[in-house]
Structure 1
C-alpha cells in the first residue's frame, strides 16, 4: 500500500492571469476613473490578493500605461494604399468592438508620468498621421492645417463610444460612426484668415471669491482637477493659508461651484438659441456654435463637462439633461433617427469639440466656423 502524499500542494496560476488582471484594470479605470481605483480593488476584481497582484504589476500607473498601449495596438493598422472608406470601415468596427479603449486614452492618459504620456502621445500622433495622409489624398484641395483638423476629429469620433454607456447593436453603431466620419471628411472648411487676434490683458473681478473661482476653472481646464491643488488655485491670486478657506471649504467646494457655473452658462446659451429660432436645425447650429465658443473662451467652461462625475448623481443628471436637449434638436432636424442613434451622434459631436480644444496648437480665426460645420456634419444636420 502506498503512503498518502501529505506534502502541500502548490497552487498553479491560471493561464493568462496577467492579461486577466490588465483587462480588469482597464475596465475599472474606464468605469470609475483612474484616481478612484485602488490596487486592492483591481486584485479583488480577479479574486487574488493584493500581494499576488504586486508580483505581476508594481503599481497601477504601469497597469494604465500597458492598458493604453494595448488599446492602441488593438486598432487596425491601415495600409497606405487603402481608400478612406476602407480605413473608416475597419476603424469604426474596431471602435465599437473595443469601445472602452477610446475612453482610456482620451480621459485617463493625463494621470500617467510625463515620460509615459510623451511616448503614448507619439503613438497617437502616428495613428493620426495615417488618417491625415488618407484625408489629404481624398481631398487634395485642403491645406495641411485643414486636413489635420479633420484627422483629429476622426480620432475623436472613434473614441466617443467610450464616453457613454449607450448600447446599440454593433453593426448599426459601426455604420452610424462610419457615416458620421464620412460626412465629417466631406465638410466644407473656411479658409484661415490668419491667427486669432492676440488676447489683451483681461480685467478681473474685485470679488476675491469670484476671482478664485475663475482661476480654478482655468486650472481645471489646463491641468485637470486631479492635478490641481488648493495651493495651486490660491497661488494664482496670492491667497494662501487659512484665508483661502474663508471663500471655499476645499477643492470639492470649488469644483461644485465651477460645475454649477458651467451648467448655467450652457443652459443660458441653449435657452437663447431656442428663443431666437423656430427652426430646429438653425437652433441646433446656434447651440453647437455657442458650445464651441464656450470651449475656446478664456474660462473654457465646457471643459468641465469632461470631469468624472460618477460620484455625483446631481452632476450626472444635469449632464444627461443637457445632452437630451441636443438629442431632441437632432431628432427634430432628422425624422429618420431614433433616440439612441441621435444620442450616440450627440456624444460624438461633443467629443470632437472637447478634443480639438485640447490640441496644443494656435487657433486661427476660422476655428469657430469650421468646428461648428464639422459637428453639424457629424450629426447629419449640415446644410
Structure 2
C-alpha cells in the first residue's frame, strides 16, 4: 500500500506533533524569552514547533494572541505550584518555606524562560494582562501575609518590599547562566529568600535617595538619556527615531548626525548601562576602608545607580534580546566580569561558600536590588541595600551540598 500523502498544512518530512497547540506555545515561550515579543517572528515559532505558518494561524489569530497564551500558561503553572502547598495555620515560617521550595522548583524546571509578563505586559490584550496580574496579586498577597505573621513589627510597605524581594531572589536563575545541580540551587535560593525575609531593615530610611550633581548636557548624551527612558517605558520596537527626536527637541536628521540608526542608539545605551555598573564597583571598592566593608559599599553603590537611573537598568533588561548575538555576548561577558568581582569579595568574607554558589547569591542580591528600585513605586535605597546584604551575608548553607572538586 503506498504511503499516505501529507495532510494539508504539514510539509513533507515533518511529523505532525500530537498536541500542536502545546508545541506552538512551548516554541513561542523560548522565542519570546530569548528575543522578546517584537524580536520574534511567527514564521520562526512555526518552524521551531515543526509546523507551517498557516497551521499556526489555525490556533492563534496573531502574535499578540500567542503571547497571551504563553503568559497565561506560565502564570497558571506558577499558580498551580503554589496552590499545591497547603496552608499551615500558626506556622508561617514552615508554610513560607514550602511555598519557596515549590516556586523555586518551578523556576528551575523552566529556568531559561524569562518572566515574559514583566517585560512584555504592554503587548498583551487586556484580558490576558488582567489574568496574569490577578494570579500575581494572589501569590503576592499570600506571601505577604506569611511575612507579616513572621514579622508583625514591620509596616505594610516593608512587608511588600520583602515580598517583592522574595520573588526576585527565587526567580533570579532565569536571568543568568551560572550552573549548579538543582539539589544545590533549590535549598540555596530558598535559604537566600528566607535570609531576605529576616533582614534587619532601617527604621527610618531617608525620604530622598536622589543623587546630587549635574549630568552631561551635550546633544549626543541628551539623545542617549531620552532614548533610554523611551526604551524602558515602551520597549525598543515601539519607539521611533521621530519619537526620540521629539523628546530631545531635534528634527530626526539631528538624531542621525550622532547615530546612524535606532539600533546604534540602543547598542550605545546598553553598553553605557554595563559601563556604569562596572563604575559602581570601582566606586564602592574605592570607598571601602577595609575588606569587611567591601560588600556593604558594593551594595550601596549598585543601589545608588538603580535609584538614580532606573530607566537605564530597565532598558538593559527589557531590550538586550533585541541586540544581535555578538553584542549580547559582549554585554554578557562584562556582566560575568562584574559578578565575578562581587563573588570574589563574597568569598573573601565567607570562604565556606562554594564558588558557583557565591555567584548565585550575587545574582540574587543584584536582582533583588533591581526589582525593588526600578519600578513605579520604588523601595528606598537603604531598605534595598539591607535586603541584598542579608542575602549575601546571612544565607544559610544548611541543606546545600558542597560542590565536588574537579579532578585533573
TM-score by length of 2: 0.82
Task: Give distance in 2, aligned partners of 1:299 and 1:134.
Answer: 29
Cα 1:14–1:243 shift into 2, 3 Å = closer
1:197 and 1:302 mapped to 2: Cα distance? Answer: 17
The answer on 1:371 being equivalent to 2:387 is no
Preserved CA contact (<8 Å) 1:281 1:329: no
Aligned residues: CA RMSD: 2.9
Partner of 1:297: 308
Alpha-carbon separation, structure 1, partners of 2:135 and 2:73: 11
Match of 1:257 in 2: 268
Q: Which moved more, 1:190-199 or 1:119-128?
A: 190-199
Unaligned runs of 5+ in 2: 9-14, 90-94, 396-408
Distance 1:315 1:32 in 2: 15
Q: How far apart, in 1, do the equivalents of 2:5 and 2:316 lie?
A: 55
Aligned to 2:347: 331
Residue of structure 2 in register with 1:348 after alignment = 364
Partner Cα distance (2:338, 2:98) in 1: 35
The equivalences for 1:115-126 within 5 A come to 116-126=128-138
SS in structure 2 opposite 1:34?
A: coil
Q: Which residue of 2 aligns with 1:24?
A: 27
Q: Residue in 2 aligned with 1:183?
A: 195
Q: 1:106 to 1:176 in 2, by over 3 A?
A: farther
After superposing the two structures, state which structure 1 stretch, 182-191 or 321-330, moved more.
Answer: 321-330
CA displacement 1:257-295 (0-9 Å, x = unmatched): 223332332222212322333644421221111111111
1:64 aligns with 2:67: yes
Q: Check the 8 A contact 1:80/1:130 in 2, yes or no.
A: no
- Contact map agreement 2:140 2:163 (CA 8 A) in 1: yes
Q: Per-residue deviation at 1:217?
A: 2.4
Per-residue CA deviation, residues 48-71 of structure 1 (Å, 9 max, x unaligned), is: 111111112222222222122211
Aligned residue-pair number: 375
Residue 81 (structure 1) aligns with: 88
In 1, the alpha carbon distance for the partners of 2:381 and 2:360 equals 23
- Separation in structure 1 between the aligned mates of residue 185 and residue 176 of structure 2, nearest angstrom: 13
CA distance in 2 between counterparts of 1:224 and 1:281 reads: 40
Name the residue aligned to 1:140. 152
Once the two structures are superposed, residues 90-117 of structure 1 have per-residue CA deviations (whole angstroms, 9 ceiling, x without a partner) of 2222222232455333344444345533
Q: Distance in 2 between matches of 1:362 and 1:8?
A: 60
Deviation at 1:21, TM superposition (A): 1.6
**What TM-score, normalized by structure 1, do the two folds share?**
0.87
Q: Distance in 2 between matches of 1:80 and 1:42?
A: 40
Q: Residue 84 of structure 1 contacts residue 138 of structure 1 at CA under 8 Å; is this kept in 2?
A: no
SS at match of 1:125: helix
| CA spacing shift, 1:177–1:6, aligned 2, 3 Å | closer
The answer to whether the 8 A contact 1:187-1:377 is kept is: yes
Cα distance between partner residues in 1 of 2:348 and 2:3: 74
Aligned partners of 1:199 and 1:88: how far apart in 2? 36
Q: Give the match for residue 298 of structure 2.
A: 287
Q: Distance in 1 between matches of 2:310 and 2:33?
A: 27
Partner of 1:94: 106
